Chains A and B, each alone.
Chain A
Amino acid sequence: MDLPLMNIYSSLTPVFISPFLSAGRVGESSLLISVVSPLEDCSGVSSNTSADKKLMGLTLIEKNNLLTDVQQFIRINQPSWLNDLVLSYECLLLEYNDQYINHYQVLQYLQSLLKANTKAPKANASAKKNNALKTHVVSVCYNSTRGPDDRERVLAHTGLSLSSLIRVHSQNPYRIFAVGFMPNFAYLGELEESLHIPRLANPRLNVPAGAVAIADNQTAIYPSKSPGGWHIIGYTPIDLINHPDFVFEAGQQVKFEAISIVEFNEYVSPPKKQALKNA
């Protein structure tokens, strides 16, 4: 069937849901919420050069903060039709059950929700505090010989000493910009410039579980064994797949805490949770 061009592209025209946020239909029952910057298009795609970043007005963290807030508002409100929320860098994917609601109604809901939340910032500040986004403290052994590592390569490239590397990597908490690629794999940023190093030209076929790694302006922890092209600088003894307290979500923070080899070896995992069974 030949639809007029305007209809074909109508789903590409996002709708403003607040002064800085737009939402576009990306699926039959999905909306993609993006941050609108003055000199940027409305799709949430951006360039990474620092000159462009300055022109765009909002930094990546500022954009991510806006979206984290939206995610929190929606969660607190608990609409019955909500299926999933996937927050990633500069956009928030909202998937809903569209049997009894259409996308116009979801857009209206978002508009009212955001209007209500900006009108009463004080009330919401306390609500936000009570549901405060978590800061996970992850122990890392930077001297670990648990598996392969790229410490020497990183030290050579950056010109830092091992103690400086440990200090720079663990001093500040990182923002979780996205969780994906594999379960509980959190993309953390932004890494200090002194630690920037491009990805491995030849990715490893097997990065062991618990590896803490860096690449460009990001750092991450591999929750389970997988191929990977980031530089390994240490290992965490925490089992990120099964530990009930370490469930990563975009918008939260991660703070690394250096531990010794002895502490690493003495770490004891909490017992596994009983699996749920269908009645």
Chain B
Amino acid sequence: MLKVEKVSLLANIVDEGRTGMQGQGYSQSGALDWLKFYYANALLGQTLWSPAIEVLGGNFCCRFTQACVICITGADAKLSIDGLSISLGCPVLISIGQQLSIKQLNKGLVNYIAVKAALISPSFGNSVCAVAREKRGGIRENGSSLQKGDFINGTPYGVGEINKALIFNETDHRLPNALRHIFSQYYAQTKVINISLSYQAHFFTHQQISQFTHKSYQVTNNMDRMGMRLHGKSIFCTKKVLSSQGMVYGAVQIPGDGQPIIMRNDRQTIGGYPIIGVVDRLSMAILGQTVPGESIEFSIADFEESRQKRLLVCLALEKLLARQAQLFTHYA
């Protein structure tokens, strides 16, 4: 299906992540910017969580050994097929032997390459994801990421031609409102990150919580797929001793030094630091494209409000998927 020719930083085959494995200490994992990942698959009219390639930072090149349709979403990047420029978020017809090149620019960190095909890769916990720390998952089943020379198998869905109606960019008026609205929040000057208070929030004084939401925090260099360490006003928990508890995606831990850590996809399953609250999943997708040095501001939200917003966005994605699926003309 495709052969990896260049990876300058990190590339992995990803999907939604594992289910049912956290009880044994395995991370959930999954796409860092799940929204752009779903979006790429929706544009191709295929199941939102179909495995795709996640490119984190820098440059990436691969060559396709079969004709297929692909779509790339995510960070601002210079995309080209055999030297010819293509756009983000546009389904593109690829011929045998053509090379895709991605050169990330200054906005965002993660790109998704969705292929209109059934990509074949070993499964662990119902997922193709690789977690390096665990030495589990991925194409070699040992947690290693994609490297030059790696070959990913797959069966493309035959497509005859690309209907012009399939193509549009993120600000297009034909995109559902819910999607256009959330996409516009991706590159704000200071990103507003919604957090709902939970876990040990009642062990923080009102003053501490007020300070937590009053000033912005900076994303430090200490960030990876496991967590994102922030720098800013230290806040302190009145409860010092805590037995380990299961950590939810987006949980914000407050360690001894008072500097918050946002737990991400490859986080450890249990942790012993107090947790002040949980960042909502839409904000976690936006954080997926956030780089060190950027500022974020916490805003208190309600869990149900966050859930409803997310369900609306997912509904919009499903509608887009249905529309795109109809417009592809297939060869038998």
Q: Give the interface of A toward B (CB within 8 A).
A: 1, 3, 7-12, 24-30, 32, 41, 43-48, 83-93, 95, 98-99, 102-103, 178-185, 187, 224, 241, 247-250, 275-279
List of B residues within 8 angstroms of A27 by Cβ: 198, 248-251, 278, 303
List of A residues within 8 angstroms of B311 by Cβ: 98-99
Would you call A93 and B248 a contact (CB within 8 A)?
yes
Q: Which residue of A lies closest to B202 (CB)?
A: A12
Would you call A181 and B123 a contact (CB within 8 A)?
no
Would you call A45 and B200 a contact (CB within 8 A)?
yes
Would you call A278 and B270 a contact (CB within 8 A)?
no
List of A residues within 8 angstroms of B203 by Cβ: 43, 45
Stretch among B17-25, B52-60, B83-91 lining the A interface? B17-25
Would you call A12 and B123 a contact (CB within 8 A)?
no
Q: Which residue of A lies closest to B206 (CB)?
A: A5
Q: How far does the Cβ of B281 sit from chain A's closest Cβ, in whole Å?
A: 6
Give A189 to B207 CA distance when docked, in angstroms. 38
Known contacts A25-B198, A28-B306, A277-B122; A83/B245 CB under 8 A? no
Interface size on B, residues (CB 8 A): 60
Known contacts A87-B23, A88-B245, A277-B122; A11/B300 CB under 8 A? no
B312 CB–A CB distance under 8 Å: no
B224 CB–A CB distance under 8 Å: no
Chain A, interface SS category = loop
With beta carbons under 8 angstroms apart, the residue of B22, B51, B241, B280 that contacts A47 is B241
With beta carbons under 8 angstroms apart, the residue of A93, A181, A275 that contacts B245 is A93
With beta carbons under 8 angstroms apart, the residue of B200, B251, B268 that contacts A180 is B268
Give A30 to B248 CA distance when docked, in angstroms. 7
Q: Which residue of A lies closest to B242 (CB)?
A: A45
Give A47 to B242 CA distance when docked, in angstroms. 8
Number of residue pairs A-B, CB distance < 8 angstroms: 165
Give A31 to B281 CA distance when docked, in angstroms. 16
List of B residues within 8 angstroms of A89 by Cβ: 243-245
Would you call A24 and B270 a contact (CB within 8 A)?
no
Across the A-B interface, give the 6 residue pairs with the lowest CB-CB distance, nearest first.
A93-B246, A86-B246, A180-B270, A27-B248, A89-B243, A183-B25
Stretch among B2-10, B127-135, B285-293, B324-332 lining the A interface? B127-135
B141 CB–A CB distance under 8 Å: yes
B298 CB–A CB distance under 8 Å: no
Q: How far does the Cβ of A52 sit from chain B's closest Cβ, in whole Å?
A: 10
Give A44 to B124 CA distance when docked, in angstroms. 32
Known contacts A3-B300, A28-B281; A86/B134 CB under 8 A? no
Would you call B300 and A8 a contact (CB within 8 A)?
yes
Would you call A32 and B245 a contact (CB within 8 A)?
yes
Residues of B109-151 at the interface with A, using a CB-CB cut-off of 8 Å, are: 119-124, 128, 133-136, 141
Would you call A182 and B268 a contact (CB within 8 A)?
yes
Would you call A45 and B303 a contact (CB within 8 A)?
no
B269 CB–A CB distance under 8 Å: yes
Residues of B245-295 at the interface with A, using a CB-CB cut-off of 8 Å, are: 245-251, 268-271, 278, 280-281
List of B residues within 8 angstroms of A183 by Cβ: 24-26, 134, 136
Would you call B128 and A11 a contact (CB within 8 A)?
no
Give A86 to B269 CA distance when docked, in angstroms. 8
List of B residues within 8 angstroms of A184 by Cβ: 24-25
Give A120 to B272 CA distance when docked, in angstroms. 36
Known contacts A8-B302, A28-B306, A178-B244; A275/B270 CB under 8 A? no
Would you call B302 and A180 a contact (CB within 8 A)?
no
List of B residues within 8 angstroms of A30 by Cβ: 248, 278
List of B residues within 8 angstroms of A88 by Cβ: 243-246, 270
Would you call A277 and B302 a contact (CB within 8 A)?
no
List of B residues within 8 angstroms of A279 by Cβ: 120
Would you call B25 and A250 a contact (CB within 8 A)?
no
Known contacts A84-B19, A276-B122; A249/B248 CB under 8 A? no
Known contacts A183-B136, A224-B135; A26/B20 CB under 8 A? no
B64 CB–A CB distance under 8 Å: no
Would you call A26 and B199 a contact (CB within 8 A)?
yes
List of B residues within 8 angstroms of A278 by Cβ: 51, 119-123, 128
B307 CB–A CB distance under 8 Å: yes
Would you call A9 and B249 a contact (CB within 8 A)?
no
B99 CB–A CB distance under 8 Å: no
Would you call B20 and A28 a contact (CB within 8 A)?
no
With beta carbons under 8 angstroms apart, the residue of B20, B122, B280 that contacts A84 is B20
Give A248 to B251 CA distance when docked, in angstroms. 25
Can you report 29 A-B residue pairs in the complex whose CB atoms are below 8 A from each other?
A25-B198, A26-B248, A27-B249, A27-B278, A28-B278, A32-B198, A32-B245, A43-B200, A43-B202, A43-B203, A44-B243, A84-B19, A84-B28, A85-B23, A88-B270, A91-B245, A93-B22, A93-B246, A93-B247, A93-B248, A180-B25, A180-B244, A180-B270, A181-B270, A182-B133, A182-B134, A183-B24, A183-B134, A249-B23
Q: Mark B168-195, 1 if CB is under 8 A from A, else 0.
A: 0000000000000000000000000000
Q: Which residue of B lies closest to A225 (CB)?
A: B135
Q: How far does the Cβ of A252 sit from chain B's closest Cβ, in whole Å?
A: 11
Give A99 to B199 CA distance when docked, in angstroms. 23
Q: Mark B298-331, 1 if CB is under 8 A from A, else 0.
A: 0111111011001100100000000000000000
Most buried by A among B199, B243, B314: B243
Give A22 to B241 CA distance when docked, in angstroms. 21
List of A residues within 8 angstroms of B251 by Cβ: 26-27
List of A residues within 8 angstroms of B134 by Cβ: 182-183
With beta carbons under 8 angstroms apart, the residue of A11, A48, A181, A185 that contacts B197 is A11
List of A residues within 8 angstroms of B278 by Cβ: 26-28, 30
